[in-house]
Structures are given as C-alpha cells and as structure tokens.
Structure 1
C-alpha cells in the first residue's frame, strides 16, 4: 500500500479537475493521472462522486479483493441505488431488467455465469479461430486496398472482431452495423452523460437490442446449433436454478461489448502506433515475430478498458485513505498501467517490458476473452503490416475518443499507404 496520507471527500485539486469523459482528459488522461499518482494517489472525484485509485499496487489490491469490494455496478460510475430520471426509467422498463452478469456481479452469480462463457470460449474453440479471423481480416482489407486510404476504425478495427463475435454467437453477419449502433446506445445509457433527450433515444436503441437478443435466445432454445450462443443457452438451462431470459440477455450484452468494442480499441490504438512510427512499422513488416510484443505494449499504453468500478463492503484503507462502507471507487487501469513504480519511463513505447499490465483486469474478473483479444490483435497487425506498405497517418486529422465510462477507443483513424 501507499504511504499514509490524509485525503478528504471533496475540495482537492485532483478531485476538482477529474473529468474523464471530457477534454482534456478524454484526449489524453496520462498527464492528469501522473500528477494524481504523485500528489493524491487516492482522491475523491467531485464530478463522479466516488474515490479514484490511481497506483498499480492499490488498483491490484482493490481488483483482487472480492470479499471487501463488490463488483456490482462495476461498469458505470453511478450505483444502481441512484435511479434514472422517470422518463428514462419508463423507456428502460420496456426492455429487460438490468441484472448482475459477468463483469458486474459477485460470487456465486459471477461464478455460474463465468463457467458458461468459459466453455463457449474454450481453448478447443480458440484453436480453430485463427484461420477464420485471418480470412475476415484479409477480406476486409480487400475492400479498401486499392483506394490507398481508409477510415480504419469502422472499416477494420470494429469490423474484424465485430464480424467474428457475431459469427461466434451465430448471429447474421449483416446485422453487425445495427449491433454496433445498439452497442453505442448501450454505452451512452450506462455512461449517463448525455442530455435527457439523447439518453431517451439511446434507451430506445438499448431496449431494441435487448429484444433482439431475447429473440435469438428463444431461437436457440427451439433450434440449437453449433455456435457459442447455443452452448450458452443449453448450459444455462442445465443449471440449478436455470438462467432466465433476462439473465441471458444481460450476459450477451456484456459478451458482445467485450467481444468487439474493447478489441476494436486495441486494434485502432495499435494501428495508430504503427502509422506514426515508420521504424516500428518496418520492423513489424520485416519480422512479424515482434507483433505479440507490440500488442502487449499497446494494451498497456492504450488501456482499452481504462477504468472499472467497485463498492466498498466495509470500512477500508487504501493508499492511506479511509474509505467508508458503501462508498464507490474507480480503479483507473490506464493510470496503473503508467505507474512509474511499475513501468520505467511509462510514456516510452518499449517492446522489452516484462512486467504484466492490467489491461485485462486482475483477480476473479480477469477477462475471459484475453487470449482471443490477443489473437485478434496479432492477426490484425500481421495483415495490416503485410498488405499496407508505408502505412501512415493522413495529415490534418484530429484524433478523438469515444466517451465511455469503461472503454477507450478512437472514434476514427484516417490512414494512407503506398
């Protein structure tokens, strides 16, 4: 733990300036978190109404301690005890209730759900994924290769894991664009940062997404087939007690979000790194064997999951700060992944690092899909480096990031090649 210090709720410099979903933090949060780690490693955020934990050691301590820190509501800054506005609640009531699932649950609910998905994403399936992923990646590049330029986020970074996850679940590939729009709606509803009229529109999309998934679940109950969704539905029916439709809908929402939105952030960030570093690109093109190291360093520096949330189940001290039972915490993975005490010169992109990062979390909620994400990242970079010689940034573009309480992804990335 960090040295003992006194920090109060509200009034601190870091607490007043902590706005992770707005510029300048949204553009680049690293300078802010570097100052926080030095001056206030655990501070009260006035904007979010919770404690922010910034150092690697402290983030690990919270993430792995499921007995003292609950993962309920772990994907949103706001606890479920804070009800949405009546108009928004009325719209959400048209769908299925928001129940704890894989990411935002504690044992034993978490244990039951994780076992289902672990089976669906087994190493047996993973061994067969590589040729499928490579075929998708090659075909996506075929679509824009001769143009000499592309907006890569939607044409490739989202499309590669997106096409794969809908294939894995057995959903029609032509539904991916709609699923992506619905996922955006879901993210906006959970973030809760938009004006009420916008939130109401997002809620309508979120409810439509829920009903779409419920229909797919019912179809698999009647007509199981060889896909991961059938495995999940069949396995859920065999549990005692069995999972209901609402529980499965919530699980699928998280699988889809984690299955492509976060991997899209990884691929886009990796493409950006290669496009602005010609020497790194040339090295990866010449020796694809270094690409797994590139993926790992991008996971650290970009941190596609930048933060998660916990609730203290008892009075506890973290980093010398007393946190009361029931208070909320943000564990800032992107800050922990740049902690100078763990990573020497953390702003330097260094393929020789050996210390493990926290891009996939820590403890019982360590990401089930980590092997798949690493595989997708490796294949994406192998295809991009071999097929797009001289990859570079299109001049004059402003890089912006999608505002999310948990995920960090470029909104667009314009690239050109020889």
Structure 2
C-alpha cells in the first residue's frame, strides 16, 4: 500500500461508504454515484483500496489511455493473496494469465486478433436464425404455464446455449458450465465464508480442466467450430499460445459470451414487464427493439465496472494518482452522468447519445454486435409469445455480487397464456 493511500484512508466521505458488493449499493448504486459525481468525482475507496472514477469524461480518459493505465488485473479490484487453504485448491488448476480483457499490448493485440477472426462478425447473419430457434424452443418450454423465473429459464439459457454451440461444446453441458462460471465469480469476489470459497475453487479448477481437455481434443481432431478455429490459430502464432493461455482466454469468452448478455436480456425484460405502454409499443412496432436494447445497456450497465493500474503519476478529476495505484472505472456511473445524459434515470428509447456499456478504447467489447443481436432476438420472441407480459407482484429483486458484472439473480414474470 502506498504512503499516499494510507493518509487518504478515512478522509473521503464517499470512500467510507463505498461498498459496491453489499446493500444498498448492490441493490441500486445510482444514488451513491450521483453524489460522488457531484462531490467527489474521483475518490479513494477504503473498502477496495483504490481510486474510483465516476464521471463520463474521466472514465473515457482512463479507458482509452493504454499508455498510462494498464489493464492487467482489470476484472478484479486488486490482487489480494488468497488464504493458504484456498490457494492450495487453486494451484491444482492452471495459472491465471493475462488474456483478452486483462492484458496490455502486445499480448492483448495477439489475443484479440485471434478471437476476432474466430468469431467473425461477418457470420452474424448466420447466427440470427440459430438464436431465434434457441429462443423459440426455450419459450416453448414454459409459455403454457403463464409464469416463469426468466433469468435461468431464458436470459442465461439463450446466450449460454448459443455460446456453447458456437464453441462446439455439448449443449447438455450448459448447466454445469453455468455452475462453474458461478464458482469462478464467487472465488474472485471473495465475499463468501472460506469453506464456501474452497468449494467454489474446486469448481473453478474443474472448469479449467474441462476446458483444457476440450482444447487438447481440438488439437488432435479439429472440427467446424469456433474453438477449433481458436486452437488452430493459436498454434500458428509466434510464439504459439499454450494450454494455460487458451484456458484463460476461453474462461473470458464464456463469461462474456453469456453472463453479461444474460444481464442485458433480464434487464430489458424487466423494463418491458414493468411498463405496459413500452411493451405494447414494442409489440406493435418491433423496429424500436434495438433502441430498447441500447437504453437497457445504458441503464443496466451489465458490466458495471472495470479496473486499471496507473503506469505513471497522473492528475485526474482534481486528485493526484501515483504510479502503481489502482483505479475502478465505474461504467454504470458514467452511463448516468448528468453532464452526458439528460434525465439519466429516465428510460428513454429516443436517446441517441452513445453509452459506455461495451467499454471504450482498445478493450471495446469484441462481442458487442453479437450481444445486440441476442438482445434484439430475445425481445422479439418474448413480445411475440408472451401476451401482456408483467412483473409478478411482491418479488424482491436482488443482484448477483460481482466485481464487474451486474445481473439480476432472478426475475418472476407472468403473462396471459393462450386458451
């Protein structure tokens, strides 16, 4: 810990109240960030031991400046050594290496080019009928009931089925992959008691070995799937990517490929279900669905924050940040900045101001076009198939605690089933 950090501890009102993984911030962080943007746009967080950047302008400045702000460890608040019992489980897996999201050039450049080629966006037109078939099949499974918990039955299942199909993993493994992804998130959020974290670590290690086996299988017998393209492309690099590098890459592809899109779909369904006029407008005119997707991305910010490390002393938002100190760039705060968005708390499908839900700079999300497609197809199927969609009364909404992703844990919806 730097000397400057010690002297700042307890000096910031916002810093003393910054607990993003606990209520009330976990439930709704917007009031806190509104106050921070007004009073302390860049503040030192006692709980995370780093700087928090809240204004749109400053978040953009950090995100696009790879020369002064490193993305190493960008998906976790800080590298805190795990307790010995937890470490003993984690070392049974593969080492955590920088990959797509948490790396700097040239590692980032090599990995991004590899995945961009394998997940070629020119294939988007081919993806749409596949996504629609998956969405329709999922809705077929619950449409007659008139009620569903949407997050697991649809919001996770749609992008989850698609990404495992795309990579060539067995569709029947999705539930296990989802459990393993939850294990991964829980281990690195570190919010559970040690015995539970140890169990999550065992799941995370099992996930790593599962992916390593899939990589070795594609090395021996390439197929017509994105995983084979990645493995074959990685072998042609100089130097080639090893198994550990590929495992870390696949962990990030799978997490980004469905966990964050699930957050988008669940949040968009919530907006439609709580606003009958918006639902009626979407059903009447599906051409507004892309605008609903964009405004949901801004409001919900499925990636609510990322992290950077200062590579030199910098001035930002009126404070001095020393070389080596960590920063959280709060995308959800930037996406509600009054200086950028008029009436930011209002859900307005007519907005045209670009948001930061997919990041900014060299780490802008590779899968943004796919996420937008998945969101649009999901909403098309829901509005077509579920008449008078509405929220089940008296449910308590809660969010999965994650250092980066923001997603409803459950969402109970009802509609008028066909007679």
Q: So what's the TM-score if we normalise by structure 1?
A: 0.97
1:120 Cα deviation (Å)?
1.3
1:252 corresponds to 2:246: no
Partners of 1:67 and 1:123 in 2: CA distance:
28
SS class of match (1:146): helix
1:180 corresponds to 2:193: no
1:30 corresponds to 2:11: no
Partners of 2:223 and 2:118 in 1: CA distance:
13
Q: Which residue of 2 aligns with 1:4?
A: none
> Which whole-Å deviations, capped at 9, do the CAs of 1:106-142 have from their partners, x for residues lacking one?
0000000001110111123222000000000000000
SS class of match (2:230): helix
Partners of 2:42 and 2:279 in 1: CA distance:
38
1:378 corresponds to 2:384: no
Partners of 1:83 and 1:392 in 2: CA distance:
45
1:10 corresponds to 2:10: yes
Partners of 1:121 and 1:127 in 2: CA distance:
12
Q: Which residue of 1 aligns with 2:99?
A: 101
Partners of 1:181 and 1:269 in 2: CA distance:
21
Q: Which residue of 2 aligns with 1:339?
A: 337
Q: Which residue of 2 aligns with 1:307?
A: 305
1:195 Cα deviation (Å)?
1.6
Of 151, 156, 159, which residue of structure 1 is paired with 2:157?
159
Partners of 1:182 and 1:136 in 2: CA distance:
22
Q: Which residue of 2 aligns with 1:147?
A: 145
Number of matched pairs: 410
Q: Which residue of 2 aligns with 1:398?
A: 396
1:409 corresponds to 2:419: no
1:10 Cα deviation (Å)?
3.5
> Which whole-Å deviations, capped at 9, do the CAs of 1:155-208 have from their partners, x for residues lacking one?
000000000000000000000000000000000111122221111111000000
1:9 Cα deviation (Å)?
4.6
SS class of match (1:349): coil
Partners of 2:360 and 2:219 in 1: CA distance:
34
1:387 Cα deviation (Å)?
0.5
Q: Which residue of 1 aligns with 2:87?
A: 89
Q: So what's the TM-score if we normalise by structure 2?
A: 0.97
The runs of 4+ residues in structure 1 deviating greater than 2 Å are: 7-11
Of 315, 318, 327, which residue of structure 2 is paired with 1:317?
315
Partners of 2:139 and 2:156 in 1: CA distance:
13
Partners of 1:190 and 1:104 in 2: CA distance:
14
Q: Which residue of 1 aligns with 2:54?
A: 54
Q: Which residue of 1 aligns with 2:4?
A: none
Partners of 2:10 and 2:237 in 1: CA distance:
46
What residue ranges of structure 1 are gaps of 5+ in the alignment?
A: 1-6
SS class of match (2:315): strand
1:46 Cα deviation (Å)?
0.5
Partners of 2:192 and 2:281 in 1: CA distance:
43
SS class of match (1:97): coil
Partners of 1:192 and 1:109 in 2: CA distance:
27
